[in-house]
Amino acid sequence: MVMMSTGAIRPDQVIAEATMPVLSVSGLTTSFLRERDWFPVVRNVSFDIAPRETVAIVGESGSGKSVTALSIMRLIPKESGRSDGRIMLCGRDLLTLPEASMKDIRGNDVAMIFQEPMTSLNPVLTIGFQIAETLIQHRGLSRAAAEAETVRLLDRVRIPAAKSRFHEHPHRFSGGMRQRVMIAMALACKPKLLIADEPTTALDVTIQAQVLELLKELQREEGMSILFITHDMGVVAEIADRTVVMYGGQAVELEATSRIFAAPSHPYTSALLAAVPRLGSMDGRPRPMRFPVVDKVTGTSDEPVETADTVSTAARPLLEVSNLTTRFPIRSGLFGKLSGRVHAVENVSFTLRAGETLALVGESGCGKSTTGRSILKLTEPDAGTVLIDGQDVLAMSGRTLRDFRKHMQIVFQDPFASLNPRMSVGAAIAAPLLANGLATASQARDTVADLLVRVGLTADMAARFPHEFSGGQRQRICIARALALGPKLIVADEAVSALDVSVKAQVVNLMLDLQASMGLAYLFISHDIAVVERMSHRVAVMYLGEIVEIGPRASVFGNPQHPYTKKLMAAVPVPDPTRRATKREVAYDEIRNPVRAPDYQPPTRQHREISPGHVVQVWGEEWSG
């Protein structure tokens, strides 16, 4: 078409124009000032992004991937950081531009979206204002024209009733919608390059699928290039044409995405890929399986085996939960009148055997964490019974309950927040022993040393403080603390969700080993279905406070029945570029919340047994169509 209309341009010129990269980064080194010395965080990184191409930078925390993105935007603080090398955007070297010209490029030629949709929008300005502002600044549009264009943009990112929502503030929008607002803002000036820094990491999996699909669609329409930063190989496989793998500040591999997955050349890439849980990889295996351990230097891997059968065959399950219901009142008005209830857990029943892992999966607000807390009586349930070894936990109180707690422990999601920074890890692990008067100080010291070794650390680490450890090590410490009292049941509330891929695999392996050696029962609460598939015997899918499907893991994932289970599984990104769907059907609906009127009567549910132990709730009209 170009050649037809402009005969004066020679074919080779057209080719040069078409293949000239939008962004060309060469020899980028970004250093930060730490105590008067410059420490390189990104070292000699080079890559190109062609027009309409999506390049992913993948790596774990601290690998320098976000710093690379911020260096391109020149958003590194001048006083403490500096970038060397060349960053060419359409033939202009960004690193040599004066700050004033850089301001014209930001948000105009290169736009950026961030990980945290909840905090990335200004809370006191309307979303319309925040989008229109960009148009007024860069395009010189009038207020009225900018408003009209903003409404059009909001429509394009599928914000319903865009015109009326223009004047609303960010707190009225859900996380997924805020990220779509961010996308609208980024695309306002039709940038040549969009930098997306972990844009879906904080979102639920069905919402992640929406945002990815939207980005792909907008890219097709606008013809922009995307630099996509992520730690999630599944997302990489889903979206990227080419992939840069970063490790320790260096780009260790740069290849077409399909080649990276098919034949990784760098040992680190092999290690990373081996640690990625893949939904569907466990077909036909009833028991959990360890992740393969790959040496990051040599690339050699051990052969993971299915774990031994750890599930107890005793007549009575360790944990029996029946008709558990937890509701939170919402009060408002002058006298705190009850205006509604959050039905966080609604009539939930299940059992868990010693040595067994039952996973509770579901999205934000489905009640999976509240279920875990209610069982441990950390939250007071409204109704139901919880039996551990036949003893009613909910009937206990005071001293009895405290004594009984040694049988049931919990590991939380955030290893940074769940350890007291002023307490040495040895003291933290020994605390439950000493508090319960179960050991003398010297006995506790021995137990701590033993536990640290068990979780893969060394005994001499007991004297150190939490800040001296990495996230993965801290989570090991939290597990050691939970093990200190010799519990039978451990509630793992998103215990591996905040960890990097390879660390996550190690902690999962550790938990499997401990289960085998100590016969622990895990209630594994997670939103990450691929990890759940790897490590659980049985699965319960929760939706709006209820278990909609429960059964042996192989049966539930191999033959999902409930529409929500199917929807959830379809939304999980598959870390295999060859299986990438060309266009996925994505419904732009929101995750519903379980807030009900005070007089709400939950419907009586019917259940159907699909195969032995695999039970599904009979669903109604709301799921048809």
Partner 1 sequence: MARYVLNRLAQAVMLLVIVSAIGFAILHLAPGGPLSQFAASAQMTQEDLDRVTRQLGLDRPLPIQYLDWLGRMLKGDWGKSYRDGDAVLSVISSHLGATLELMVTATIIAVLLGFWIGITGALRRYSLFDSLATVGAMIALSIPTFWFGLVTIYVFSVTLGWLPAGNRETVGDGSFLDLLHHLIAPAMVLALVETAMWGRFMRSSMLEVINQDYIRTARAKGMPDWRILTVHALRNALLPMITVAGLQFPALLGGALVAETVFTWPGMGRLFLDSIGYRDYPVVMGILMFSAIMVLIGSLIADMLYAVVDPRIRVG
* Chain contacts with partner 1 (rule: CB under 8 A): 73, 75, 102-108, 111-112, 114, 116, 119-125, 133-134, 137-138, 169, 171, 182, 185, 332-334
Question: What whole-number distance in Å separates Cα of residue 352 and Cα of residue 224?
Answer: 51
In the complex, the smallest distance separating the C-beta of residue 169 from partner 1, rounded to whole angstroms, is 4
In the complex, the smallest distance separating the C-beta of residue 33 from partner 1, rounded to whole angstroms, is 14
Q: Which is nearer to partner 1, 43 or 103 (CB)?
A: 103
In the complex, the smallest distance separating the C-beta of residue 121 from partner 1, rounded to whole angstroms, is 6
Q: Which is nearer to partner 1, 335 or 397 (CB)?
A: 335
Q: Which is nearer to partner 1, 96 or 442 (CB)?
A: 96
Question: What whole-number distance in Å separates Cα of residue 227 and Cα of residue 234?
Answer: 16
Q: How far is residue 516 from each of residues 93, 283, 303, 373, measured CA to CA in Å? A: 57, 22, 18, 25
| Amino acid identity for residue 436 in this structure | N
In the complex, the smallest distance separating the C-beta of residue 187 from partner 1, rounded to whole angstroms, is 12
In the complex, the smallest distance separating the C-beta of residue 158 from partner 1, rounded to whole angstroms, is 21
Q: Which is nearer to partner 1, 115 or 475 (CB)?
A: 115
Question: What whole-number distance in Å separates Cα of residue 425 and Cα of residue 410?
Answer: 17
In the complex, the smallest distance separating the C-beta of residue 214 from partner 1, rounded to whole angstroms, is 19
Q: Which is nearer to partner 1, 123 or 284 (CB)?
A: 123
Q: 225-230 and 614-617: which strand pairing?
A: unpaired
Query: With contact defined as beta carbons under 8 Å apart, do 564 and 362 qualify?
Result: no
Q: What is the DSSP string of 483-515?
A: HTT--SEEEEESTTTTS-HHHHHHHHHHHHHHH
- Report the sign of the C-alpha dihedral through residues 455, 457, 463, 464, in that order: negative
Q: Which is nearer to partner 1, 335 or 601 (CB)?
A: 335
Q: Which is nearer to partner 1, 85 or 117 (CB)?
A: 117
In the complex, the smallest distance separating the C-beta of residue 581 from partner 1, rounded to whole angstroms, is 31
Tell me phi and psi for residue 109, to 5 degrees.
Answer: -90, -35
Q: Which is nearer to partner 1, 77 or 598 (CB)?
A: 77
Q: 193-197 and 225-230: which strand pairing?
A: parallel
Task: Pick the closest to residue 290 from 271, 277, 299 (CA basis).
Answer: 277
In the complex, the smallest distance separating the C-beta of residue 134 from partner 1, rounded to whole angstroms, is 5
Beta-carbon count within 10 A of 3 CB: 10
Q: 242-247 and 250-256: which strand pairing?
A: antiparallel
Question: What whole-number distance in Å separates Cα of residue 299 and Cα of residue 85?
Answer: 31
